[in-house]
Amino acid sequence: MNKYSENIDFSIIWKKMYASLTENEEIQLQRWLAENEEHQAYFDKVIDYYQNGSKFEDTAELTEKGWPALSSKINFSKKPKRKNRFLVYAVSMAASIVLFLAVLAVIKPDLFQNDNQIQIAETITPGSEKAILLMEDGTSYDLSSGKNLSLEVGGAEISSQGTSLRYNSENAEGKQVKYNTLVIPRGGQFNLTLSDGTQVWLNAGSTLKYPTAFVGKERNVELTGEAYFEVKRDENKPFKVISGEQVVQVLGTSFNVSSYQEEPTVFTTLVEGKVNVYLDNDPQNHQILSPNQQSVLEKGENSLLKREVDVAEYISWKDGWFYFKEKPLETIVADLSRWYDVSFQFDNQGAKKLPFTGKIRRYEDLEDILKLLEKTKEVQFKIERRKVIIK
């Protein structure tokens, strides 16, 4: 056994990559990582290998083989750096300082020459289309490998080309419906078309549980994380998104739900149509949303608030943008953390509440985005492996 793998079960590392750890397993992993820097370095290399070219055929087999087998397969060479490329429109605001950056189409070295160069060990690239499909019988399929998938489960035909997943249930009549779960790891996103034609875009660190075909009087799905829904209209069969204690009920419309387990607030933002948002244990406590409105649920509090919002701020992630308006840095880095699969550490606690306003492409390398934020002269960043220290 590799010396770095002592006292840690590899299945915990594997589940971490797919955002499926239990609370106790997460605690165990974090304690192991904190024991010494060699544990963290080895963990980072394994994650990097998975993200930059792993072609694991059988996840269960790999879990059983553990670290020794994995160590022999990992190529620790760095991924070649991409050619300089940067195109961004951004307006950054921190405290009383306003920095305007117009549409830029210039070489990155020309753009970012300054005295406060971000300290980095290697390039941290953005997320990509990746997902894990979990079946009721425990079978799993890695959809991020780019391989085609074609099978029939619970009366539904399931197909994928590595960037999206589609269900067709025309022949589901009389078949036993099964439940599938789509898991989007940190650093990933994926598009799903449900059996009724509803489209779902899932953000990094999210899971959606759904039936292979919708039977009965309702269309119910369960969400953890963030997703944008374009619901196929059916007057006779309401569509419900259940996320913890909240339920969103629609007949057919477009909306976004953000309900990450680690976040204290659930945001439901309506793009078009109408939705009814209510608490599962108190249906009378509800809000009817119209376009450009958002419901806000503070977890643990038995109340829903409604407010007017700029919808683009909450749905631009689906179209490849980070868009924030007077948003605290603490909230911004939470989004960056999930998309780039890194952690952030605030050495400068006062920086957490600094507000920023801007629009930045999600497909830039992380250091490019951090350099834009540094232009405000309010914060500095240092990258150590996959941890970003905010000074």
Only one residue has tokens 């369960």, namely 222
| 3-state secondary structure at position 384 | strand
Q: Which amino acid is at 79?
A: K
- What is the predicted pLDDT for the residue at 137? 85
CB 169 within 8 A of CB 3: no
Look at residue 296 in the predicted model and tell me its pLDDT.
Answer: 97
Q: How far is the C-alpha of 51 from the C-alpha of 127, rounded, in Å?
A: 9
Residue 319 three-state SS: helix
CB atoms within 10 A of CB 324: 23
Residue 117's pLDDT is 53
| Mean pLDDT confidence for 356-381 | 92
Task: Give the mean model confidence (pLDDT) for residues 24-36.
Answer: 79
Q: How confident is the model at residue 4 (pLDDT cuts 50, 70, 90)?
A: very low
- Identify whether the C-beta of residue 110 lies closer than 8 Å to the C-beta of residue 104: no
Domain residue spans in the chain?
A: 3-73, 87-124+318-390, 131-314
- pLDDT per residue over 79-124, tens digit each? 334 433 333 333 333 332 233 332 222 223 333 444 455 655 568 9
Nearest to 361 by CA among 323, 310, 307, 304: 323
The conformation of residue 24, written as its DSSP 8-state character, comes to H
Assign 35 a pLDDT band (cuts: 50, 70, 90): confident
- The more confident residue out of 96 and 239 is 239
For residues 55-62, average pLDDT: 38
From residue 55, give the alpha-carbon distance in Å to each of 52, 58, 140, 155, 279.
10, 9, 14, 29, 42
Please name the residues in contact with 149: beta carbons below 8 A apart, sequence gap of 6 or more.
133, 141, 143, 158, 159, 160, 165
CATH number assigned to the domain with residue range 131-314, chosen from the 4 options 2.60.40.10, 2.60.120.1440, 3.30.390.10, 3.90.420.10: 2.60.120.1440
Q: Are 198 and 211 contacting, i.e. CB atoms less than 8 angstroms apart? A: no
Q: What's the pLDDT score for residue 106?
A: 27
Per the prediction, the chain carries an average pLDDT of 79
Give the per-residue pLDDT at 94: 35
Q: Where are the alpha helices (DSSP H) in the chain?
A: 10-17, 23-35, 37-51, 59-73, 108-112, 312-315, 329-340, 366-374
Residue 112 contacts by C-beta under 8 Å, 6 or more apart in sequence? 368, 371
Does the pTM surpass 0.75? The reply is no
Which stretch of 137-141, 240-244, 263-267, 338-342 has the lowest confidence by average pLDDT?
A: 137-141
Q: Lowest-confidence range among 64-78, 112-126, 143-157, 204-218?
A: 64-78
Helix (H, G, I), strand (E, B) or coil at 382: strand
Q: Which two tokens stand for residue 116?
A: 């406060």
Please indicate whether residue 91 or residue 370 has the higher confidence score (pLDDT): 370
Residue 307, beta-bridge partner list: 294
Say which residue, 80 or 272, is predicted with more confidence: 272
Which residue would you say has higher pLDDT here, 359 or 105?
359
User: Secondary structure of 191-224 in the HEC alphabet?
Assistant: EEECCCCCEEEECCCEEEEEECCCCCCCEEEEEE
Q: What percent of the chain has pLDDT over 90?
A: 52
CA distance 65 to 67: 7
**Position 155 pLDDT exceeds 80:** no
Residue 111: predicted pLDDT: 38
Q: Is the per-residue pLDDT at 366 higher than 90? A: yes
Regarding predicted confidence, which is higher, 252 or 95?
Answer: 252
- In this prediction, residue 104 carries a pLDDT of 28
Residue 82: closest CA among 367, 316, 317: 367
Q: Which CATH class is domain 87-124+318-390?
A: alpha beta
pLDDT score at 175: 65
